[in-house]
Amino acid sequence: MRFLRFKKSIKTKVKELREIAGMTQEQLGEKLGVSRQTVYYLEKGDYNPTLTLSFKLSEVFGKSIDEIFYQEPIIKDVIEQKSLKELKTIAESIGISYNKISKLTEIKEERLLEEFDEELLRNIADGLDFEFNKLFED
């Protein structure tokens, strides 16, 4: 049986942890030996830190690296950036319910092809104005 996986992006809890610790971006940067701008990009998810910097973050926050960084399916971001009206229009255009599309933000990979066939996933990707290969991989 064929197995299809979600493509994932790396997400970060750096901003949340920094705010809980009561630090500014500049203060965190000083502790890490990086600029405030680097902290800003880390928080936005636009910068993938080195392993050394990841371990420093772990030490500063007293958290494991996987508590600071995690992976999330790209399709979740894509769907969450669409309005309810847009998602309903996309669902209607491909002949499924809005609930079916929204299910993609929660479904486990192991069940993906049980609940969605590849053609439907391709149609959803097209409706979302995304290339199938940027959302899913074999």
Locate the domains of the chain by residue range: 12-71, 73-137
Does the 12-71 domain belong in CATH 3.40.50.720?
no
Q: Is the pLDDT of residue 110 over 80?
A: yes
Q: What pLDDT does residue 1 have?
A: 55
Mean pLDDT across the stretch 69-77?
A: 93
Average pLDDT, the chain: 94
The candidate with the shortest Cα–Cα distance to 40, out of 55, 52, 25, 28, is 25
pTM above 0.85, yes or no: no
The candidate with the shortest Cα–Cα distance to 80, out of 55, 105, 60, 98, is 105
